A and B are shown apart, each in its own frame.
Chain A
Amino acid sequence: MSILRKLVAGGAATLALLGTAAVQAGAAKDEKDSLIYLHSIEPKTFYQWWTQAEYPRRQLLDGLIFLDGEGKLHPWLAKSWKQDGTVWTFDLRDDVVFSDGSKFNAETVVKNVEFWLKVSTSVPDSFFKEAKAVDEYKVEIHTTIAQPWLANLLSSGGFAINSSPSLARDLKEIGENPIGSGPFVLKEWKRGEEIVLVRNENYRWGPETTHGGPAHLKTIHWKFVPDANARWLALEKGEADLIYDPPSVKWKEATGKYPTSTRYAPGRGQTLSLNTEFGPFADKRVRQAFAYASNRKKIVETLFRGSALYEGNGAYSRTTPDYVDLDDAYPYDPDKAVGLLEEAGYTRVNGDGFRVGKDGKVLEVLFPVYPTIVSPEGYTSLQALQAEAKKVGFKIDLIALTPTDLAAGRYTKPDEYHVYLGYWTMYAPTVLSVNYRPDDGSASGTIFGRQNLNQIQTTGGSPNPHNRVRSKDWKLQEAIVEAHREPDPQARHAKLAAIQQHISDEALALGFYTSTYNLVGQKYLSGLIHNIHGPIFYALKKD
């Protein structure tokens, strides 16, 4: 008897506890100085050269240059800057203190540039060479060629400034607890659930156009909720103040009901890079046939419902300087596609409806899909692409890679993939150099991520892992470099337009959909800074 009584009593107590707690739970809006923000992807570490790690890092670390929501550059840690050929000179603020107590000066910038150079091959591919301190608060950044967009690049979260002593730690610690001079500091990282940021009370160096002092919010609960429906429902029920990426089917409703903010990432949107070296896409006609047959625009409109847009430019996105609209380059035209395929020798159709080439080989396309780069909705769009391309006889093998496959380097060998879907976020046409530089065996590349980062560094990062098109076209790379060197903006625009047109004409890469940052917030929020790199919560207020 006693045990039963205990069980019942215990159960009743638990129920009572659950009941009271139910009454206590309050809505997000009542906490005036605390923000509940729901995001999708949780990075493994903050020091990844990846937008998903940069979003939260941006709240902790300031940049040299501030990009406002309208796309204008403003002073931040750098008071002014100027370019003179391959040398950029920055005048720095002298009143900035990091959260570890160290001071910000020219030496800090030098240390950070050295760090960036080690961290990603894309940094040398953006023509960074070195940094030199001129005096305590004046620093020069040297580039290998004239780099007209260095200020643009520096405005992104990737190039945010760490405290100089904090970079002497091993990467694990840098990744777990980055030390910046930003308006917030990291209080806690509850893995799998949220990161908690608290206000930096000593903050006095907010960027130009902002209020300058400490942030308005005291606390930010940056929660990770991978499921878009759950994020949306939480917003609807007042459990969250602000959410990232609502479900596409709710996008229209969201824009009608709530304040929303949309930004299209610079660099390259979600783009189909076709392997021009191995497989069926080595033939330009087959690439073009795929472009005509894939019905990309209709798929994007149907599936994303305005939450992301069709992007016809495979070279780079609409928010990148000197962009050319190529949305009409390859309209949906299955007949044209069939004609091109027959011209390319795929004249027969087998029993399953797939085309067969002269050599008897089926027109088969290997398409590995990267889970960290393509969202579930993106994966659905590829299933639609697969079905559309089948109508003219393409057999597309979608291979949903696991992060492990990805990590093990599977499907990256030259002949293991024929098409790749991915974005590359970078606020400059320099993204072309990252994506199209052929392998010369001498490019600098780095290995990072190890505990003893500063001891192990290798060079020779070839082949260029970001050249998914497997371009071997040195003329193209030279044209890209030439465009950077061109001092006259108008002539530069013409050169870059020609490069984009060339990439489109050759069908090296096909644009698909924009890499989009959608934010939906409650009506009582104000002061959100949302630039094309992502949101900044510094000036955010709840009324």
Chain B
Amino acid sequence: MSARQATISDVETSGKRQALLGAGHVLLGKLGQALLTLWATVTLLFVAQAVLPGDRATIYLNVLEGYSVTRTPEELAPINREFGFDRPLLVQYADYVGGVLQGDLGTALQSRRPVTDLILEQIGATALLAVSAIVLAWLIALAWTLATAGRHPALSRIGATVEALAAGMPHYWLGLLLLLAFAVHLDWFPVVGGDSWRGLWLPALTLAIPLAGFLGQAIRGEYEHALGQPHVLSSRARGTDEWRVRVVHALRPALIPGITLTGWALGALVSGAVIVENVFSRPGIGALLVSAVELKEFELISGIILIVSLVYVLITFLTDWLYTLVDPRVSFERKGEA
């Protein structure tokens, strides 16, 4: 059972692992790769914006004026001129890339505010939510693994089943159940969390539980495998304290897939956060994104995706570094052709 979900997660993570490139002298190369990734992201996003169907100037005018009418070229011309929609695409592209390099992600058409400002206003709440969720998820996964794995087979099977169930929970479903149970009926938490700490619990748990399921699945297999390794058996034979055996000898190497997953989980966390913020009426990137989609604020959506990619690239570096800490046996080497 344990490996069941692990196969899916592996589907989604093995490539990521390969993307974590070498260290040391490869550092420069990795930096290049990262920059390349970001450049390609910027380009993809620009292309998507450029092919946006529907006239951007018309949308802009109508949303601001609260009317729904078709516009004459005379009305649109000044808007096109102001935002530069009438320039050749290559010029617009160069302008966009140049702006991104200076941290300028453009202007959101509707609110006429810089995208960077809009995102910075909201990203704190989402980041706090994501980090709390990761911490909670790790605590849950570790506790669950230590409690259920490598013990009685029946217990282990139950543990794995619960992990699989948790990992498969849609966020909106879990969130609404938690909201109903703990905020509405038990009244332990506020319904409108806002930016209070108390309001963070349920949203963070909603994100953390499926993530803990994923982490647990990844850790469990490795952990149980390690428990059967000769060095663990021998240290047990030497009379080492059982907890020490489990935590130091077995759990530590088992953390690697978990760490890999955490890096990967960023994407899933962002997706989840959008939904969780909606369920719990929390401010953050999610609400911003939903309104951006409704208003076709493409600059804003692109900006958010770009920021997420940037964070993703950074996290990739970080997880790489964490590997070497957790398991010194992991060495970076350049692999030839796969």
Contacts and interface: CB of A to CB of B under 8 A. Distances in A.
A407 B251 contact: no
Contacts of A412: 68-70
Contact of B110 (A44, A225, A231): A44
Interface stretch (A104-112, A187-195, A245-253, A257-265): A187-195
Contacts of A240: 192
Contacts of A450: 61, 64, 78-79, 82
Contacts of B69: 409, 412, 465
B294 A402 contact: yes
Contacts of A11: 135-136, 138-139
B192 A48 contact: no
B97 to A, nearest CB: 25
Contacts of B122: 191-192
Contacts of A7: 135, 138, 142
Contacts, number: 162
Contacts of A239: 190-192
A287 interface: no
B17 to A, nearest CB: 18
A239 B281 CA distance: 14
Contacts of A58: none
Contacts of A81: none
Interface string B154-185: 00000000000000000000000000000110
A404 B59 contact: yes
Contacts of B95: none
Interface string A510-533: 000000000000000000000000
A449 B71 CA distance: 14
B276 to A, nearest CB: 14
Interface residues of B, number: 63
Interface in B52-84: 54-55, 58-71, 74-75, 78-79, 82
B326 interface: yes
B18 interface: no
Interface string B280-296: 01011001100100111
Interface string A407-429: 11111110000000000000000
A8 B281 contact: no
A186 B296 CA distance: 28
Interface in A159-173: 172
B174 to A, nearest CB: 17
A233 B296 CA distance: 32
B281 A407 contact: no
Interface of B: 54-55, 58-71, 74-75, 78-79, 82, 110-112, 118, 121-122, 132, 135-136, 138-139, 142, 183-184, 187, 190-192, 194-198, 200-201, 247-248, 251-252, 255, 281, 283-284, 287-288, 291, 294-296, 322, 325-326
9 contacts: A1-B252, A44-B64, A44-B111, A48-B66, A190-B121, A233-B183, A371-B294, A409-B71, A465-B68
